Structures are given as structure tokens and as C-alpha cells.
Amino acid sequence: QVQVVESGGGLVQPGGSLRLSCAASGFTLGDYAVGWFRQAPGKEREGVSCISSLDDMTYYTDSVKGRFTISRDNAKNTVYLQMNSLKPEDTSIYYCATVWGSRSWLKCLNGEYDSWGQGAQVTVSP
């Protein structure tokens, strides 16, 4: 079965850290650009970060720059999102998304994802 599964979400105090994992099965995640986006109830989807398929270029939306780090471990077929200095406004459901093809990087930057997982809840609260 071809799918990605997010894990690592939870409840954390402001200033704390979490690491989200996006584990792929049924395909080679390294062949895809991978993005993380978040969506809170009643709010629009927001692209958070992307990592390219070939040379691991990275992108971060302004609100998380310097706090979040995206990385991939091809041996584990997994992409990570390390989130530090978390703020209450980071509270959301975080989704891992994949993009395939020659334009995968641009598509990831534009939020044009091919598929995504079920999401992981991140709650930042005192």
C-alpha cells in the first residue's frame, strides 16, 4: 500500500520542541519532493516547509524560519520536521505531502501536492 504516515505530534509548552516524522511505505520517498503543511480548524491551509527530491533544497515559510528544520533520511524512507521554540500559533494539524515529477520543487512551493497523510496534531499551550 502506497502511503505516508505522520507521527510525533503532541502537546508541548511554549518554547518547547517536537519532531514530526513522515514515514513512507510502498514507494521511495527520496524520489519525491516532500512538503509539510498545516491546517487548523476554520483556517486556510498553510505551507510550512518543503525539501526537494534530488539535492535537498529546503524552503520555510517566514513564520517558522530559524525555528523549524526539514530533513530526510533516505535509508529510513522518512522525512522529518524538527520544530523548536514552538509558539501557541503553531498549534495545528500538520500534514506530510508528496510531489512527483520534474516540476516537483515548484509545485511543492506552490502547495500543489499530489497526496498527503492523515495528519498529526500539534498543540502548543501552557
pLDDT-derived band at 28, boundaries 50, 70, 90: very high
What's the pLDDT at 2?
81
Other beta carbons within 10 Å of 59 = 17
What is the rounded average pLDDT of the residues 60-67?
98
Residue 106 has pLDDT above 80, yes or no: yes
How long is the chain? 126
- Beta pairing class for 58-60 and 68-73: unpaired
Query: With contact defined as beta carbons under 8 Å apart, do 53 and 104 qualify?
Result: yes
Instruction: Report the alpha-carbon distance of residue 73 to residue 44 in Å, rounded.
Output: 30
pLDDT, the chain, mean: 96
pLDDT for 107 equals 96
Q: Is the pLDDT reported for residue 92 higher than 80?
A: yes
> Which strand (E) or helix (H) includes residue 90?
none
CA 12 to chain centre: 18
Say what the pLDDT of residue 16 is: 98
